[in-house]
């Protein structure tokens, strides 16, 4: 072999080694999750990290299908609710683990006006539009754009939402990037652009349950802290009245860690009654656009702690009020009311109809961005 050839081969091997993840590093691996009844294939990407945490993201709704983290004894458990097959996700209306959009949460009567034009969105929730309408981002098949292994593991998925889909103006290009770091963090980065003025509000809709055993599945004893001094009260169809009200002296004061179940049956509180528990947008303290702690959940029994950070102005806390025990989810578990903590960092509900709320308008040439970080820890 000539000297030149040896040098070239060595250089090739070194560069191949440099791009190949080492066995201990974080890994992204593609797999097939299954198929919808009409034959559409749904793919999965499994992200694993050296810390033992692993997460499966599927192309149906760019959603988190499973997420395993250790409890204080090191035992791994799946801490998100969901299903074992694609069609179950497609038929269900709970948005388990999904990327929700174009507009997460509700828009009153599905109507809004932008630059003098009135728009009517698909109605799917008691006369209102919820989480993007009849077939929102959660029920679309996203494309895997890229995966990466190395010091962290990631997958980027994309979806192109055509002009007029579910009544929304403008063709919208959206991406959802999930990154699992070796330090035990899962980052979600949502981005969107449009070719016409429109509205956007993307969020992650994971139902967390930090228990290690189905025998202790209720989240009512979980300690919840929300970094919010105000919330946005709603009417009886869960549309904000427009008020921004202090949490002080209400069941919505979670500024200090408080058991979720402590005030959830407070019949004197109209908001608790309207929401059947907690289903409320909290106005996060700190500056929107900067990543800051939104909420922290601790399961005192398993020791698992979840911290949620975001750049969004608000976070919806939903206590799984509409889980009725009517079906069986993953691991053969029946999901009942109060079995999950859903924390959805987002713009305020019905923002397009409330000029005093932060704007959810997206114009051509601008870029929408919402970053969410789940940090997992244990309390010994
Ligand atoms: C909403 C709830 C709704 C749930 C599932 C939550 O984000 O706030 O009212 O029932 O999603 O659809």
Reported as a single tens digit per residue, the pLDDT across 291-321 is 999 999 999 999 999 999 999 999 999 999 9
SS3 state of residue 78: strand
Percent of the chain with pLDDT over 90: 92
Indicate if ligand 1 lies below 6 Å from the C-beta of 281: no
Percent of the chain with pLDDT over 70: 94
Catalytic residue among 185, 298, 344, 371: 344
| CA–CA distance, 57 with 47 (Å, rounded to integer) | 8
Q: Which pLDDT band holds residue 184 (cuts at 50, 70, 90)? A: confident
Nearest in space to 164 (alpha carbons), one of 121, 223, 213? 121
Q: What is the DSSP code (8-state) at residue 141?
A: B
* The length of the chain, given as a count of residues: 380
User: pTM for this one?
Assistant: 0.94
Indicate if ligand 1 lies below 6 Å from the C-beta of 316: yes
- Ligand 1 pocket test, pick from 93, 95, 234, 272 with the greatest ligand atom count within 8 Å of Cβ, gives 95
CA nearest ligand 1 atom 5, residue: 94
Indicate if ligand 1 lies below 6 Å from the C-beta of 279: yes
Task: List, as one string, the DSSP characters of 315-329.
Answer: EEEE--TT--S-SB-
As a whole number, the mean pLDDT across the chain is 94
CA nearest ligand 1 atom 8, residue: 279
Indicate if ligand 1 lies below 6 Å from the C-beta of 318: yes
State the distance between the two ends of the chain, measured CA to CA, in whole angstroms.
60
Residue 261 confidence (pLDDT): 98
SS3 state of residue 1: coil
Alpha-carbon distances, residue 138 vs 64, 213, 264, 299 (angstroms): 11, 28, 29, 28
CA nearest ligand 1 atom 9, residue: 279
Atom of ligand 1 nearest to the CA of 238: 9
Distance 350 CA to ligand 1 centre (A): 14
CA nearest ligand 1 atom 3, residue: 94
216 classed as catalytic: no
- Ligand 1 pocket test, pick from 96, 101, 342 with the greatest ligand atom count within 8 Å of Cβ, gives 342
Q: Which pLDDT band holds residue 22 (cuts at 50, 70, 90)? A: low
Burial label, 68 (beta-carbon count in 10 A; 0-12, 13-18, 19+): middle
Indicate if ligand 1 lies below 6 Å from the C-beta of 95: yes
166 classed as catalytic: no
Please write the tens of the pLDDT for every residue from 226-246: 999 999 999 999 999 999 999
* Helix or strand holding residue 18 (H, E): helix 3-19
Alpha-carbon distances, residue 238 vs 279, 314, 316 (angstroms): 8, 16, 12
Query: Which is higher by pLDDT, 240 or 14?
Result: 240
pLDDT above 80 (res 9) = no
Indicate if ligand 1 lies below 6 Å from the C-beta of 322: yes
pLDDT above 70 (res 363) = yes
Q: Which pLDDT band holds residue 24 (cuts at 50, 70, 90)? A: low
Residue 183 confidence (pLDDT): 85
């Amino acid at each position: 072999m000539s000297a030149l050839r040896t040098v070239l081969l060595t250089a090739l091997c070194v560069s191949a080694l440099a791009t190949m993840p080492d066995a201990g590093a974080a890994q992204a691996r593609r797999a097939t999750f299954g198929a919808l009844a009409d034959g559409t294939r749904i793919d999965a990407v499994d992200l694993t990290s050296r810390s033992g945490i692993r997460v499966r993201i599927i192309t149906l709704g760019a959603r988190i299908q499973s997420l395993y983290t250790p409890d204080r004894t090191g035992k791994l458990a799946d801490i998100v609710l969901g299903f074992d097959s694609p069609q179950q996700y497609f038929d269900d209306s709970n948005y388990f683990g999904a990327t929700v959009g174009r507009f997460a949460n509700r828009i009153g009567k599905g109507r809004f006006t932008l630059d003098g034009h009135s728009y009517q969105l698909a109605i799917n929730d008691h006369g209102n539009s919820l989480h993007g309408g009849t077939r929102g981002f959660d029920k679309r098949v996203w494309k895997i754009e890229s995966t990466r292994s190395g010091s962290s593991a990631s997958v980027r998925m994309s979806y192109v939402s055509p002009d007029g889909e579910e009544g929304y103006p403008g063709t919208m290009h959206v991406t959802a990037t999930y990154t699992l770091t070796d330090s035990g963090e899962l980052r979600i980065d949502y981005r969107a652009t449009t070719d016409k003025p429109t509205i956007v509000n993307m969020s992650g809709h994971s139902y967390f349950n930090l228990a290690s055993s189905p025998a202790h599945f209720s989240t009512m004893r979980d300690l919840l802290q929300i970094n919010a001094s105000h919330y946005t009260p709603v009417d009886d169809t869960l549309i904000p009245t427009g008020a921004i009200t202090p949490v002080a002296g209400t069941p919505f004061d979670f500024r200090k860690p408080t058991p979720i179940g402590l005030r959830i049956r407070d019949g004197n509180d109209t908001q608790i009654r309207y929401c059947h528990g907690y289903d409320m947008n909290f106005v996060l303290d700190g500056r929107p656009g900067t990543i800051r702690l939104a909420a922290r959940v601790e399961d005192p029994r398993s020791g698992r702690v979840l911290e949620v950070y975001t750049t969004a102005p608000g976070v919806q806390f939903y206590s799984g009020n509409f889980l009725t025990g009517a079906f069986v989810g993953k691991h053969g578990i029946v999901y009942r009311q109060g079995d999950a903590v859903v924390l959805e960092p987002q713009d305020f509900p019905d923002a397009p109809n409330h000029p005093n709320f932060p704007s959810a308008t997206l114009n051509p040439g601008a870029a929408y961005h919402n970053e969410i970080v789940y940090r997992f820890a244990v309390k010994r």
